Amino acid sequence: MPQVNITVDINENIYLRDPLETDLGKRIIEHAILLLDEIGFEDLNFKKLAHHMKSTEASLYRYFENKYMLLAYLVAWYWDIMHFTLLMDIRNIKEPKKKLIRSVETLVNSLNESTTPSYIDQNKLHNIVVENAAKVYHTKKVDTLNKEGFYINYKKIVKTLSEIIREIDCDFKYPRALATNIIEQSLDSEYYLDHLPSLTDTQSRSTDSKNETVKMITYMLDRIL
């Protein structure tokens, strides 16, 4: 099977050198996902990552300014692929309401294998985004980073979702806020269920929790729209 280079559209301000252009770069992404999932962002540093992938600290600094930029890259990547997946999943659906429900399902069920290259563990990437996305958006540097286009991928998927909402109800006053809220809930509800269950209502982890989350969000949406 031929190696297909996937195209991801990520702002070049995020990295120093494009990691997808070299083997070392791809290995950085691969191992960053493995190690971040394992030890978390706070405990990650470039020394550990270098050791994990049998490279050196200095090499990592050639690709990313620091670990925040590396995280920003992974999150941007996630939203880029999620946006693509979502567009694929709804492309043949005509009815706006069905489009929205399908979008929620896609968001909650995360990425599927076919859209990510083989060196990416998409479930781990999903967990990393759930655990750390807020750290990319909540920083004193938010305005600078925003100007440099760091958040474009997230904004795009919010825009797509808000347009579906407007298709359902063109007079609805808060399409963007609702879209943002849906996306955040799709990330958070599973995390809360696993770690802070008293912040949610779904009882046990044993039943299909992803499906429960979809039901909850669509229930709320049914009433709002």
Rg value, the chain, Cα? 18
Of 2-10, 75-83, 117-125, 168-176, the segment contacting a second copy by CB under 8 A is 168-176
Smallest distance from the beta carbon of 27 to DNA, in angstroms?
8
Shortest reach from residue 69's CB to DNA, in Å? 9
Q: Give per-residue burial for 176-197: e unless 16+ CB within 10 Å, then b.
A: eebbbbbbebbbbbbebbeeee
98 contacts a second copy (rule: CB under 8 A) = no
Question: For the chain, where are the alpha helices, taking DSSP H only?
Answer: 23-39, 46-52, 57-63, 67-90, 96-109, 122-137, 142-147, 152-168, 175-195, 209-224
Query: Residues in the chain, how many?
Result: 225
φ, ψ at 92 (rounded to 5°) = -105, 5
Element (H, E) at 21: none
Q: Does residue 147 touch a second copy according to CB under 8 A?
A: no
Quick check: 84 binds a second copy (CB under 8 A)? no
Q: Find the binder of a second copy among 146, 203, 207, 211 (CB under 8 A).
A: 146
Q: Please select the residue that binds DNA; options are 6, 9, 12, 22, rule is CB under 7 A.
A: 22
- Residue (59 or 160) nearer to DNA, CB: 59
16 binds a second copy, rule: CB under 8 A:
no
Q: In whole angstroms, give the CA distance from residue 52 to residue 28.
A: 10
Q: Please state, in angstroms and rounded to a whole number, the distance separating the CA atoms of residues 50 and 82.
A: 28
Find the shortest distance in angstroms from Cβ 171 to a second copy.
Answer: 12
Q: Which stretch binds DNA (CB under 7 A): 31-39, 65-73, 85-93, 127-135?
A: 65-73
For residues 123 and 210, give the distance between their C-alpha atoms in angstroms, rounded to a whole number: 13
Contacting residue, 54, 91, 94, 223, with a second copy by CB under 8 A: 223
- The CA angle 57-58-59, to the nearest 5 degrees, is 90
Q: Which is nearer to a second copy, 13 or 59 (CB)?
A: 13
Residues that bind DNA (CB under 7 A): 17, 21-25, 45-47, 55-59, 61-62, 65-67
Residues that bind a second copy (CB under 8 A): 39-40, 42-43, 68, 130-132, 134-135, 137-143, 146, 151, 155, 158-159, 173-178, 180-181, 184-185, 188-189, 191-192, 195-196, 198-202, 216, 219-220, 223-224
